[in-house]
Amino acid sequence: METATSDIRAVEFTPSSDGDSPILPELLGQSPKDEQIGTVTADGAYDTRRCHKAITERRAIPIIPIRKNGRAWKEDCPAAKARNETLRATKHYGRAFWKHWTGYHARSRVEAKMRCLKAFGERIAARDPDRQTAEIHVRSALMNRFNALGSTEIIRGA
């Protein structure tokens, strides 16, 4: 999701038995290679080598809090170096300051958007995989359109 416009930019659905973090590289792959991705904000479940590697390969900045029991990784790749910097910063400044400093709070807007998306229904009605994909894309397009219509414009008064 693009936080500036709150548009849903990539969609992937999985069975409930699968975790979310293995899908991150596919989600990043849905945006064109020449399109710059500034940051990728995710929760601690995405604190994996695979996710950090996928983010740094797209030259984006990962904003992922280190798990409570997280330890430094062997610095054998750029992704491990970036993650270890996050670990050092959270230990030095504290988790709350790190979250404020990096803009991690923007993730709550994404969570709110997912809640709105689920208001269309928790389950997918179609049975055919192609129709399921189409249903998800329609829901996403509707959410993006609702966003465009319902966005407020704030004008400073005297």
Q: Which of the four pLDDT bands, split at 50, 70 and 90, describes residue 152?
A: low
| Residue 2, pLDDT score | 53
pTM exceeding the 0.85 threshold for the entire prediction: no
Q: What is the pLDDT of residues 86-136, one digit of tens each?
A: 999 999 999 889 988 888 887 777 777 777 777 777 777 778 888 888 888
Phi, psi of 110 (to 5 degrees): -65, -45
Question: Are residues 21 and 48 in contact, defined by beta-carbon separation less than 8 angstroms?
Answer: yes
Say how far residue 133 (Cα) sits from the centre of its chain: 20
What is the tens place of the pLDDT at every residue in 25-56?
988 988 888 888 888 888 888 899 999 999 99
Long-range contacts of the stretch 72-76 (C-beta < 8 A, 24+): 73/49
